[in-house]
Amino acid sequence: MQKNTVKAHGNPLTLEGEMPDVGDKALDFTVLDVNFAPVSLLDYKGKIVIISAVPSIDTSVCQLQTTKFNQEAASLDAVVLTISMDLPFAQKRFCESFNVNNVKTLSDFKDKSFSLSYGIYIRELGLIARSVWIIDKAGTIAYRQIVPDITLEPNYDDVLKAAKALGA
């Protein structure tokens, strides 16, 4: 496990928690769905899981990232989760407004279980660092992309190539 750093508009930010490496066993976490029901990574055991972590679904870059993965998820044999610190009812409103129905939006606001376990909780902002994680069917982290500046989009082509290489 390692600690990484990210930036916002070039300004450094502090990440809390220890970031697991590719090849590590994926750590379980519990987040809330749009109805405030708990969801665990273990709920998707045996499936390829793509986690698209975004700071706030109500920003333009997060909107682009979420709608792009929603579009791509339709043709993937994988569960695609978008996790942010947004409240579940804000996520639900977003999904309804943008017809996001291939991605499951989840909130880490209550316990920070996901963001702290994956070393991507931004201390200064109380948000999640923009990143993409792929968990393989065996529950191992097969891919990790930490976007160096949270104001930028991830490299979608790299994510999709990695997902398809796993059979997604």
Catalytic residues: 62
SS3 44: helix
DSSP 100: -
Q: What are 52's two structure tokens?
A: 């698209």
Alpha helices in 98-166, H assignment, sequence order: 113-117, 156-165
SS3 148: coil
Rounded to whole angstroms, the Cα distance separating 76 from 48 reads 10
Q: Scanning the structure block, which residue is given the tokens 């059979």?
A: 167
Pairing of strands 49-53, 131-135: antiparallel
